Amino acid sequence: MINMAAETWNVKDKLKPVGLDGISDTQIDYHFDTHYKGYVTKLNEIWSKLPGVDLTKANQNYSDLREMKLEEAFNYDGSMLHEYYFESLSKEHVEMPSSVKEQVEKDFGSYENFVALFKATGTAFRGWAHLIFDLNCGKLRVMGADIHSASAIWNALMILPLDVYEHAYYVDYGAKRAPYMDAFMKNVNWKVVEKRIERAKKVYEAFKKE
Ligand SMILES: [Fe+2]
C-alpha cells in the first residue's frame, strides 16, 4: 500500500479547437472526445488504484506496480501531449511573433528549414513530431516519437506537438498524412508557441550549469 491520496487529472474542454482550416470539427470531435478523453479516463483509473497497490509484490517480469507505472506513463503523456496539441491550434490564423521567428531562424537556419524537418519527421515516425526546447543546450530541437511514452529526451520542454497517428486525420484525409500536416501548419497558434518558448527560456536560465 502507498500511504497517499489518489490524484486526478481534469479534461480541459476549453482547449478543444473549432472551425479550423483543413481539419474538420468532426475530425477534432473524434480526436478530442474519444482519444484524448480516453487517456484522461484511464489515467484517473490508474491513479485511483495506485495507492492500494501491493509494493511487496513488485517484480520486473510482471507485477501490478510495474503494469500500472507503464500505463501511467502512457496515459499521462497521452493526456499532456493532446492538451499541448489542441492548445496549439486556432482558427484565427495567428501570425508568428518576431521572437519566435528569430529563435526558429537561429536554431534551424530558416522557417522553411524548420517546417521541412518537422513535416519529414512527421512522415518518418508513427505517432508524433515534436518541437521541443532542449534545456541541456538552450535550443529548439525536432524529435520524432513512435510510442509517446518512450521516445522523449530528458530535460526537454514541449513546444509544439504534431500528432501524426491516423486517428488525427483519417476522417478528413483517409491515409494521406501530408495534406493533414499542411493543414496543421496553417492552424498553428504562434502566440501560444511564443509563450511556451519564453517560459522555457526562463527555466533554461535557472537550469543551466555554470
Ligand atoms: Fe492523438
- Profile the chain (210 residues) by mean pLDDT over runs of 10 residues: 87 98 98 98 97 94 96 95 97 96 98 98 97 95 91 87 97 97 98 98 89
Whether the predicted model's global pTM rises above the 0.85 cut: yes
pLDDT of residue 175: 94
Q: 82 C-alpha to center of ligand 1: Å?
A: 6
In this structure, the answer to whether residues 127 and 72 fall within a common structural domain is no
Domain-embedded: residue 121? yes
Distance 136 CA to ligand 1 centre (A): 28
Structure confidence at residue 2 (pLDDT) = 78
Closest CA to 142 of 181, 172, 195, 93: 181
For residue 126, what are the domain limits?
98-207
What is residue 57's predicted lDDT score, i.e. its pLDDT?
96
Of 87, 106, 121, which closes a domain? 87
* Nine cell digits for residue 154: 530528458
| Claim to verify: residue 77 and residue 152 sit in the same structural domain | no
List the one residue out of 175, 150, 155 whose CA is nearest residue 165: 175
Alpha carbon of 84 to ligand 1 centroid (Å): 11
Residues 127 and 155 occupy one common structural domain: yes
What pLDDT score does 11 carry?
97
What is the reported pLDDT for 198? 97
CA of 168 to the centre of ligand 1 (A): 5
> Do 68 and 131 lie in a common domain?
no
| Residues, beta carbon < 5 Å, ion ligand 1 | 35, 163, 168
